[in-house]
Amino acid sequence: MYGYFNGTILPVEQMAVGVTDLSLLRGYGLFDYFRTYNGRPFQWDWYWERFTNSAAKLHMSLPIEKDEAYQVVMELLEKSGGIDMSFRFILTGGYSLDSITVSQPNLLFMAEELPPHNPNQYETGIKVILDEYVREMAEVKTTDYKRVILLAQAIRAARAVDILYHKDGEISELSRSNFFILKGNRLITPNRNILHGITRRTVLHLAEADFEVEERPVLLSELYDADEAFTTSTTKKVLPITQIGDFTIADGKPGERTKYLLEQFEELVNNW
């Protein structure tokens, strides 16, 4: 696999960031992650917009423009020999003389193989566990994912696949994806303390024609009368959630409306 490091394309194993980088010393960095469909970056404009917005909020300057970045992605795709791949963009805090001041960030792009796909999860739905927590600067895709790493053993012990964050009775998001519930024809998703996912945004656009869409605070208590629940992300697409902790959503089976939205999403990406 190939990557891009501060203007140079080279094999990923030859890429390296120095030990005085703020990402290592202070955990100061951000990233984004997307994939291609049929050899084309999915929702490129939206992903690049989020990446640049995250950089601005962390007071880091991007040393590359959007069009040049797109060309780099396409070159990495060609050199890595894949039609469909995933890409990880990383912007670190860079090297700092006083170990605190941001000067010139380091920029890395990495081409990666797509993660394994488990079709059974779409047939049975997944289980998640609850965690009373809200990510700091949730709207920024920082490299700080220690919370889910620390809870990995608890997730496995519960035979779950992820965690659902909530605070003061209000749901926000999963550790790496967004959360939705369905009540009748109403599609409801949290609108604060979240990363505004690109798949989330895509699904909301797809749903406008057939559902009453509500972006608003969502309470834990609303799970009791939810008909369906699902999560969205680059890797999960539209993935049913059938159990949250010890609570089962409705009849414990993936709902028809969730399946319909997955079909809509699949149709979109198949023709991308």
All CATH 3.20.10.10 domain ranges of the chain, comma separated, are: 120-270
Span 120-270 CATH architecture: Alpha-Beta Barrel (3.20)
Asked if residue 137 has pLDDT above 80, the reply is: yes
- Give pLDDT, residue 82: 75
Domain 2-112 falls in which CATH fold?
D-amino Acid Aminotransferase; Chain A, domain 1 (3.30.470)
Whole-number pLDDT of residue 86: 96
Per-chain mean pLDDT for the chain = 96
Taken as a whole, the chain contains a residue count of 272
Average pLDDT for residues 196-215, to the nearest whole number? 97
The pLDDT value recorded for residue 103 is 83
CA distances from 218 to 24, 186, 245 (A): 36, 13, 17
CA distances from 272 to 64, 93, 205 (A): 26, 34, 15
Give the model confidence (pLDDT) of 11-53 as tens digits: 999 999 999 999 999 999 999 999 999 999 999 999 999 999 9
pLDDT for position 266 = 97
pLDDT at residue 97, rounded to an integer: 86
d(CA 258, CA 241): 10
So what's the pLDDT on residue 85?
Answer: 95
Cα–Cα dist 148/115, whole Å: 18
Query: Model-level pTM?
Result: 0.95
Contacts of 242 (CB under 8 A, 6+ apart): 124, 125, 126, 127, 229, 248, 249, 252, 253, 254
Q: Which two tokens stand for residue 88?
A: 């990880």
Instruction: Fill in the DSSP letter of residue 237.
Output: E
* Average pLDDT of the segment spanning 125-146: 96
Q: Give pLDDT, residue 81.
A: 84
Instruction: Delimit the CATH 3.30.470.10 region(s) of the chain.
Output: 2-112
Task: Provide the residue type at 110 as one letter.
Answer: M
